[in-house]
Structure formats: C-alpha cells, structure tokens
Structure 1
Amino acid sequence: MRLISICPSNTELVGYLGLTPSLVGVDDYSDWPEDIHQLPRLGPDLDIDIDKVEALQPDLVLASLSVPGMEKNIERLEKRNIPYCIVPNPNTLTEVGESLLFVGNATNTKDKAKELYDQYIHLLEQYRSLSEQVDNPKTVYFEWWAKPIFTPGATNWLTEMCELAGGRNIFQDIHKSSVQTDWEEVKSRNPDVFCVAWVGVETKRVNPKVILKRPGVHEIKAIQINELYILEESLFCRPSLKLAQGLVKLGSILHPHIYPSYDQKKDPLLDNK
C-alpha cells in the first residue's frame, strides 16, 4: 500500500504501526520516524502541493482537519479523485488512542494497532495510579502560543496529562479545548510550574529570555522557584502516541520522587520490552 501523510501526527501514527516503509511522501513538518527524512516533501500541512501528491499515485492519503485551514487539502484531494481518509481530530488521550485504531483499520494493521492501543491505555492507567500517591498536585500553566496567548482548557489532552502526572492545569475551569487568554490572567492564576510548548516551534527556537522579559513575570511562583520548562511541542502538542513520551517527561518534572525518570532516547511504547 502506497501511503501519504499530510500532517505530522498522522505520520507518527503510521510510524508506530511499523508502516513507514509504505510511505511515499509526507508534509514539510513531519519529523518522526527518522526513516522519513529521505521522502518527498509535499508542502506545509495547511497548503499541500496536490500535483506532487497526485504524481506519487498513492493508494491512500491520511488527511486531517486538526487545524483550521486544512479543509482546502480535502477539497483538492476530492477534485482529483485521490483516495483519502480523514483521521479523527481527538481532544482526549483516549481519543488519541482511537485515532491509532482508525489508522490501523484504514491500513489493514488492526492487530498491531490494537496491541499498541492496549499498551498505551495500560500506561495511562499506570500513571493514574501514580497520581493517586500525590498529596499536593502542582498547578501547571501550559502555553502553546504566545501572541495571542493560547493555553489548553478542560477538554484537552494536556489537562489530562497534567492530572496523570500529578498536576492541575490552571485553566481547567474553562470548558474548552483551547483557551485564548492574556498575560495578566496567567499571572493572576500564579502557577507552580510554567511549561512552554509552542505549536510548530522547535525548542531550539524558543528563547526563555522572551518569557522572562514579560512584565511582572517574577511575581509568578514558577519563575521564582526556577520551574520554567521549554518543552518539545512534538511530545505535547500533536495528537499521536508521542504524547505517552510527553506524559513520562511531565511526571518526572512534577514529582520525580514518585514517577519514573525520563529518558529522551526511550519511547515507553516502543522500548518497553
């Protein structure tokens, strides 16, 4: 089966299913697994080059509507009669796992998908048990965009990840997946831990000094106690099983005496044997 993925999270789901050799092209932002780096690049995920897609003669294009603007990719695929499926857009950690099952069904790898899904759910359950050992959950602020400020709300996997890692998202009272807020509101909520994972931005391009120059930043407890973390958006902002790796990292940050240590070279789902 000749597969094309036109967003990073779908490429990662394909990788977890061991189908990377079936990929014949990916979007510009896909960066995992390593094996994809020699593949043809088809443009940014919001503006895929449909001529390149068509020339590769895919059996199936794994598309997405996870970001506003991706609709035009779908329209172009339909106009050319290129076979595609839209991987569901999840909000919760369980729904992320269900996206894997969807891709497994679409690519005839149901058994592998179910095996991985079960491992993933088991890890979430393990972390839920560990979270019950936490007497005082730390309050956490996650920033995934800066201008304007966007942060996860109640119905977002990052809020769940905070809970499973022994924390509490300071914006979990707002019943939205993504919340637009402002700096004064962030300061007033005064988090214990300040996490920056800007969507689509690599950690090396995020300068902590930009955060530390904000007005009144040193009034925030997290900054006072040196709990500012620049995190990989690939482990926290994409709806793929890479979130499991992000969960392990977050647990080790919030409560290192309760949660397992984090090894950036180890994937808890692929390297757990």
Structure 2
Amino acid sequence: MRDPRSFWWIGLLLCSALAQAVTVRDDRQQDIVITKPPERIVSLLPSLTETVCALGQCHKLVGLDRYSNWPESVRQLPRMGGGLDPSMEAVVALRPDLVLMATSARGAERFQALGLTVLVLEPRTHADAQRVLHTVAQALGVPKAQSDAVWRQIDAGVVAAAQSLPSHAKGQKIYVEVSPAPYGASESSFIGETLARLGMRNILPASLGPFPKINPEFVVRAQPDVIMAGDSSRANMAQRPGWSQLKAFQSGKVCAFSSEESDMLVRAGPRIAEGARLMVQCLQRTAGDKP
C-alpha cells in the first residue's frame, strides 16, 4: 500500500507548479499557458527584443531575427532569419522555452505543433506598446510593478520631449516617410500619435491606415512644412515629380535620419521616447533653434 505521505508530496509539487504557471492572451486572441518563467527565449521582432531587454531579461535571449540590433549586447546572438519568415530548423535547434513573434510572421502554428510555446504580439500604437510590455512581463515572470515603472519612464520621456519643443515650432504640417517605396506614417500609427503629442499636424490622415503607400503627388499637394525620413529615402526624394519644388526642400526643412536613428523611430517599443526626442531635435533644427 502506498504511503499516504507520498500523495501529500505529489499534491505539494502540483500546487507549486500551478503557482508558477501563468496564462497570457496574445494578439491572435489565444490563451497561452506558460508553466514557468522561461529561461531560453527566441525573439523574432525587434520591438519585442527591445521589450525583453527593457524588462531586464536580455540575458535570457538565445536567438533573434536578423533585424534585432539593440541593445548592443544582443548583436552577437545567433540569427534565425527574417521576422516574417524565420528559419524553423534554426529556432527548434535552440530548444527555446518561449518564442516571441509578430502577427505578420509565418510559422507560429508550426512551432506550436512541434511543442514550442509561442507568444504572438505586434505593437502598432502607444497603447499596444504598453499592453505588449505588460504581457511580456507577465510571461517572463517580471512583477507588474516593474513593468509599470518601465512604462511610466517611457511615457514621461514623451511628455518631456513635448515640453522641450518651443511653442512657435508647434502646429506645423509633417510628413514622415518610413521606407522609400514610399510608405509614410499616418495619424493612426504610433509615430502619428507621437507627432500629435508633440503638437504637430500629420499630412497623412488616419483613414489611409497606419503605414500607407503614398502617391508622391499627395505629398506635393499637401505641402508639408517639415519632412522626416531615413537616409535611404532622402537620397531619391528630389527625383520624384514635383518634390524639388516642395517648400520643405527649398527651405532646407528635411531631416534625414541614419539607419540607427531610423530603427529608433520606426519601432513601437520601449524607445518611443527616444523617437520623440529625435523628432524634437529635427523640429528644433528646422525652426532655427539650437537643438
């Protein structure tokens, strides 16, 4: 006959395991059960990589997509291919106990069929960035008080950036180009939300979607006061029909960002405040103020 005390120990172990388990809902509206805080994380989206690190869990990352490059400490980690089309074999070979990936990526169901725990998240707005921060914190076993503190610091950084911009620089019409196709950032994107918080007007309405492909003639008709774009876009802008006659070009009110600055600007994650400060520096320069 089994010793009754053994059942007590089994019950205690089960209770301990259940106490560590958490259930989080991802952007597919799936409830993902995480039995214990993960120790081996693969992140396949730069904003998610940066979120893990902002929560002080960088050391648990074992593999990344090819575009994750911040903070500096992650740059030597193995690469799993692109965020949209990760290498299934490379990810599985790392034996992760959590895979973080975007809703636009392929392979989540296949990873799950292979027994991996997958959390699908893709922030597109400030509210999304806050929600994703808290969801990742919960999945990683990071106390809510800590994720709350991280978000307060991010939000306070955006507020400080807005307060540093002189009133005479506000109210201008802005065009932000996020890739050379050209694709722009509209009012409904997190970049558009940042511009609104800085007191700017976005020439791209929310009705176009967050990051619409733009007819270059639209920008000519809108006549933005300031243009913000990456170096890769700035190089060919003047060749677009009518763009050389834009007031922003003629008055030198075009800010070209380096690849590192562009990464900061276009990722809806913990560096939103740094992106806001980057925009403010541009607006200060184009307004003739000392940055």
When normalised by structure 2's length, the TM-score is 0.77
In 2, Cα distance between the equivalents of 1:62 and 1:161?
Answer: 25
Q: How many residues align?
A: 248
Note the 1:100-179 alignment, pairs <5 A: 100-110=133-143, 111-129=145-163, 133-134=167-168, 136-147=170-181, 149-172=182-205, 174=207, 176-179=209-212
In 2, Cα distance between the equivalents of 1:19 and 1:260?
Answer: 37
In 2, Cα distance between the equivalents of 1:166 and 1:255?
Answer: 13
In 1, Cα distance between the equivalents of 2:108 and 2:273?
Answer: 29
Note the 1:226-245 alignment, pairs <5 A: 226-231=252-257, 232-245=261-274
In structure 2, the partner of 1:186 is 219
In 2, Cα distance between the equivalents of 1:38 and 1:250?
Answer: 30
Report the CA distance shift for 1:260/1:86 in structure 2 as closer, same or farther (over 3 A). Answer: farther
The Cα RMSD (Å) is 2.4
In 2, Cα distance between the equivalents of 1:107 and 1:258?
Answer: 46
In 2, Cα distance between the equivalents of 1:117 and 1:128?
Answer: 17
| Percent identity of paired positions between Structure 1 and Structure 2 | 26
1:20-69 CA-to-partner distances (Å, cap 9, x unmatched) read 1111111111111111122111111111111111111111111111xx4x
In structure 2, the partner of 1:52 is 90
In structure 2, the partner of 1:213 is 239
What is the one-letter code of the residue matched to 2:240?
A: R
Report the CA distance shift for 1:219/1:260 in structure 2 as closer, same or farther (over 3 A). Answer: closer
In 1, Cα distance between the equivalents of 2:56 and 2:72?
Answer: 12
In structure 2, the partner of 1:97 is 130
Report the CA distance shift for 1:260/1:76 in structure 2 as closer, same or farther (over 3 A). Answer: farther
Is 1:25 aligned to 2:51, yes or no? no
Larger Rg: 2
Q: Is the 8 A contact 2:83 2:101 kept in 1?
A: no
> Structure 1 residue runs of 4+, over 6 Å off?
257-260
In 2, Cα distance between the equivalents of 1:23 and 1:171?
Answer: 37
In 2, Cα distance between the equivalents of 1:260 and 1:23?
Answer: 40
In 1, Cα distance between the equivalents of 2:152 and 2:236?
Answer: 41
In 2, Cα distance between the equivalents of 1:260 and 1:99?
Answer: 36
Give the gaps of 5 or more residues in structure 2. 1-38
Give the gaps of 5 or more residues in structure 1. 198-202, 262-273
Structure showing the higher helix proportion among its residues: 2
Is 1:41 aligned to 2:74, yes or no? no
When normalised by structure 1's length, the TM-score is 0.82
In structure 2, the partner of 1:266 is none
In 2, Cα distance between the equivalents of 1:244 and 1:258?
Answer: 23
The one of 79, 86, 102 equivalent to 2:113 is 79
In 1, Cα distance between the equivalents of 2:271 and 2:239?
Answer: 31
Per the TM alignment, residue 177 of structure 1 is displaced from its structure 2 partner at its CA by 1.5
